[in-house]
Amino acid sequence: MINNARGLAKRLFQLVTGKVESRGAPVLEEGEVPRKLIMDAATHQVAEIDGLLDELDTTHTLIGKEVLYRSVTGQAGSVDEIIAKQEALKELAEDKELVSAIDKLLREAAVKESDYYNFLFAKYTGYMGSTDSDKLEFQGYGYAEHRAGMKLLPELAEDASQLPKVKSPYLKSLIGTISSFAEKRECQLMEGPVYKTSSGLQTKEEKGFKPSIKFRDTLIKPTLVAIIAFAPMLFGPAIAQYTPLWMLHIVLFGIYIPVVTGFDQETFLYPLAKLFAESKEANGVLDALGRLDEILAFQQYANSYATKVILPNVYSANSHTLELKGARNPILGKRDAGYVANDVSLSEQRVTFITGPNSGGKTALCKTITQIQLLAQIGCYVPADEASLSIVDGIYYQTPEVNTLAADVGRFGTELKHTKAIFMKTTPNSLVVLDELAEGTTYEEKLQTSIVILDGFMKLGNSTLLVTHNHELADYYRDQGIGVFRQVGIEGDRLTHYFVDGISTNSHADKVAEKIGFTAADINIFLDEKKR
């Protein structure tokens, strides 16, 4: 679950202070190896993964958002992990009482969550300082933040122990991790009392009979206050009453506050915050909480989808394969019961050509495939009638490049660099979408370069989808008996957005020009008006 407790703590600090969005880059410790991401930033943007996150994210907690983002962008889980999540979702689908109980637990945790993070990272300015929430600097001495922050995990453990019994191993593990925290040392320190001994911070049980200082979560320490209040009497009643020594207790109280609060902060508050921030036990509970939030979000996504959703058959393979029946886009189809469904097969052949008129749905189909692949790999439902696929180690999506002033190789070279980068990272277990190839050169060079590139991808053995208007390129491969060919269906002049076998030779450019009002007739009318 949690591999780097301190890294998660830093990440949560950024979330609670608003330094990064819930989808920002992960925070790495010095020397830590970045985790392999399932897609690069360009693919994330082109495949509209942020939009997919918007549809999935009904999480209540910050840690839930963090876990969901890690799932969507992170390395693929194993088949066993995916199946474990699916079994949990099946149990949730059949047990509304369980869903309601977990939802209540998550909502209550969300109310206390920010108080816990505040305590982990807060600095205290005293009552003369000012509050700066961006830096988590709070006016005061930290006692209030400690009292509020220490409620989350102990109360969460108690609430988890009261949940209905579960059957699926995944839910058992998460709930068990949370409820068992009640027995951990960190929980005892959170509930108190905490003692400072020669061995460090300890619980009452650990302290035993060793000399110690007990932490009192308040500025008022009864023994010290009593000593200061009666200190002037040590000089005798008459002297204390009729000389300036009666002001001694005021002076002492002036010293008392900074000394006591400074001691508590340096001896108890900051060390406790550091201990909890770096604790694998505490962060393991947070991670389990986030995973509960994530799995419930998956169930809510299924409940809110306009048409059928299923848990796909997921498996490992030597090279990527995918079979979809009645697949619908995870974003666009969520609220549209009339969304046109399509069948997709990426099994028998390594390259699939997608052709058809502009605005026919070619790009939407490719995004549907990539988004469904991603949903399947995080253990979520997918919008389809049937779905069977192997897990991938990477999803890569290339769109036509626009070269910048800094580019030294022009549009063709800029795009070719991107294609090369994808090619170098691709394995037989990758899914690659190419939206046109070799743009920015002559027709002959474009055709020849595209053939060289596609031959290379086919030799690698991954699944490659090519969206293209270059029907001659598709014809070249069809003549060799290589590839799958799907084109946009047309009924009269109407694009159906349903894909059928074949290669389209018409891009309907005239229809697009007519739609936006920039045909030859429109241009002539504009020129005639300008002459007048």
Say whether both 366 and 294 belong to one domain. no
Q: How far apart are CA 126 and CA 143, in angstroms?
A: 11
The answer to the question of residue 209 being in a domain is no
Ranges in the chain, pLDDT < 50: 1-3, 28, 32-33, 243, 245-248, 404-407
The DSSP bridge pattern shows strands 484-491 and 494-501 to be antiparallel
H or E stretch at 430: strand 430-435
Q: State whether 375 and 435 are in the same domain.
A: yes
Q: Specify the CATH number for the domain of residue 77.
A: 1.10.1420.10
> DSSP character for 140?
B
Looking at 285, 301, 317, the residue that finishes a domain is: 301
Tokens linked to 9: 């703590």
Pairing of the two strands 213-214 and 351-355: unpaired
Pick the closest to residue 372 from 336, 306, 430, 322 (CA basis): 322
pLDDT at 279: 92
What pLDDT score was predicted for residue 9? 60
Query: Which tokens go with 527?
Result: 């020129």
Beta strands 351-355 and 463-467 are: parallel
Residue 447 lies in a domain: yes
> Do 341 and 279 share a domain, yes or no?
no
| Number of structural domains the chain divides into | 2
Range of the domain at 62: 5-193+274-301
Whole-model pTM: value is 0.87
Which SS3 state, helix, strand or coil, does residue 82 take?
helix
Residue 387 and residue 281 share a domain: no
Per DSSP, 132 falls in state B
Model pLDDT, residue 430: 95
Specify whether 527 is located in the same domain as 412.
yes
DSSP 445-508: HHHHHHHHHHHHHHHHT-EEEEE-S-HHHHHHHHHTT-SEEEEEEEETTEEEEEEEES------
Cβ of 445: how many Cβ atoms within 10 Å?
12
Q: Read off the amino acid at residue 405.
A: L
Q: CA-to-CA distance for 49 and 319, rounded, in angstroms?
A: 24
Residues 297 and 442 grouped into a single domain: no
DSSP code string of 385-411: SEEEEE--SEEEEE------TT-SSHH
Q: For helices 49-56 and 362-377, what crossing angle results, to 10°?
A: 50
The pLDDT of residue 255: 74
Return the pLDDT at 50: 92
Q: State whether 367 and 391 are in the same domain.
A: yes
Q: What is the rounded distance in angstroms from the CA atom of residue 501 to the CA atom of residue 474?
A: 12
Whether residues 168 and 69 share a domain: the answer is yes
- Tell me whether residue 401 is in a domain: yes
Residue 211 inside a domain? The answer is no
pLDDT by residue (tens digit) across 29-76?
555 445 567 888 889 999 999 999 999 999 999 899 989 988 988 877
Give 530: exposed, middle or buried? Use CB within 10 Å, 0-12, 13-18, 19+.
Answer: exposed
- pLDDT at residue 399 in the model: 85
Statement to judge: residues 282 and 384 lie in one domain: no
User: Is residue 251 situated within a structural domain?
Assistant: no
Give pLDDT tens digits for 321-336: 999 999 999 999 999 9
Query: Are residues 284 and 313 both part of a single domain?
Result: no
The CA distance from 522 to 516, in Å, is 10
Give residue 217's pLDDT.
87
pLDDT value of position 248: 47
Residue 422 forms part of a structural domain: yes
- Residue 60 dihedral angles phi and psi, to the nearest 5°: -100, -30
- What CATH number does the domain containing 373 carry? 3.40.50.300
CA distance 118 to 384: 43
Confidence at residue 156, expressed as pLDDT on a 0 to 100 scale: 98
Does 49 share its domain with 117? yes
Question: What was the pLDDT predicted at 516?
Answer: 72
Q: Is there a single domain that holds both residue 338 and residue 387?
A: yes
Q: Left (φ > 0), alpha (ψ -120 to 50) or beta: where does 361 sit? A: left
Answer yes or no: is 261 within a domain.
no
